Amino acid sequence: MLLEVKNLTAYRDSIPIVRSVSFHVNEGESVAILGANGAGKTTLIESIIGIISEKTGEVRFKGKDITRLNSEEIVKRGISLVPQGREIFSTLSVKDNLLLGAYTRFGRESMASIKETLEEVYGLFPILKEREKQLAGTLSGGEQQMLAIGRALMAKPTLLLLDEPSLGLAPQIRAKIFSSLEELHKKGITLLLVEQNTFYALRITERAYVMETGRLVMEGKSEEIAKDPEVIRAYLGREYREKWER
């Protein structure tokens, strides 16, 4: 098990938002957490990566307890997050955003290996290379999302967490983002994808959990969940059904 979460309860302003959640992600897997607005997905992700410190339970990564570590430490150990809303550094150039993604690697690794990762990111998203010198804030929404993903990849994570990477994007760009995630997964990165867009999320993952008001209410193979009309009716809603039937 690469990531193991046991009985995690996470609070915001002392209010428990995520309640006693347990789940795991195996090495090389691609896993989705699905859930409606306000289900607590972001809270769960942020408590895994250490942005939220008010929590009980246990988070283990590569067999080690990381529950009490701060996010700087956690990033160093190989987890990166593509946060909801992208959160790029808008007044810095695209290239500087990417280089800052490799912040923990400077001094520990050679400049050449960092440059190599940069080229890989440019290979995945060629548009970022074109816009290298531009200020990140001037990019379009889709380009900003690619930048946010590229920036997270610069840390060379073992586990990549993505919080609603398709939010607010046009359909073609959404497809492009998801196909690049598929490509990453094929290269061996373990993915934990939080999404409301269940249609795509189930297509690019192997397993999925469904979250409702702070709890994980079901788990299954993505393929099977996608075919199960009961589940879809109960948890995943109309948008999914329409797309699937089409």
Ligand X SMILES: Nc1ncnc2c1ncn2[C@@H]1O[C@H](COP(=O)(O)OP(=O)(O)OP(=O)(O)O)[C@@H](O)[C@H]1O
Residues found near ligand X in the complex (CB under 6 A): 12-13, 15, 17, 35, 37-43, 84, 196
Residue 103 touches which member of other proteins, ligand X, Mg ion, none, C-beta under 5-8 Å by kind: other proteins
- Which residue's CB is nearer to other proteins, number 5 or number 154? 154
Q: Residue 30 pairs with which residues in a beta bridge?
A: 191
What number of other Cβ atoms are within 10 A of residue 110's Cβ? Answer: 10
Residue ranges that bind other proteins, judged by CB under 8 A: 49, 51, 70-72, 75-76, 80-81, 83, 87-92, 96, 99-101, 103-104, 106, 151-152, 155
- Which residue's CB is nearer to ligand X, number 84 or number 93? 84
Distance CA 242, CA 246 (A): 6
Residue 14 touches which member of ligand X, Mg ion, other proteins, none, C-beta under 5-8 Å by kind: none
**Beta-carbon contacts of residue 167 (< 8 Å; ≥ 6 apart):** 84, 85, 196
DSSP state of 167: T
* CB of 235 vs other proteins, minimal distance in Å: 29
- Which residue's CB is nearer to other proteins, number 31 or number 147? 147
Residue 39 touches which member of Mg ion, ligand X, other proteins, none, C-beta under 5-8 Å by kind: ligand X
What number of other Cβ atoms are within 10 A of residue 64's Cβ? Answer: 9
- Which residue's CB is nearer to ligand X, number 96 or number 212? 212
- Please compute Rg for the chain using Cα positions: 18
Decide if residue 43 touches Mg ion (CB under 5 A). no
Contact 23, 219 (CB under 8 A): yes
Residues 73-132 contacting Mg ion, CB under 5 A = 84
* CB of 36 vs ligand X, minimal distance in Å: 7
Cross-sheet strand order for the sheet of 190-195: 79-82, 159-163, 190-195, 30-35, 207-212, 215-221
Strand-pair category, 55-61 with 64-65:
antiparallel
Distance CA 199, CA 243 (A): 7
Decide if residue 42 touches Mg ion (CB under 5 A). yes
Residue 135 touches which member of ligand X, Mg ion, other proteins, none, C-beta under 5-8 Å by kind: none
Interface with Mg ion (CB under 5 A) = 41-42, 84
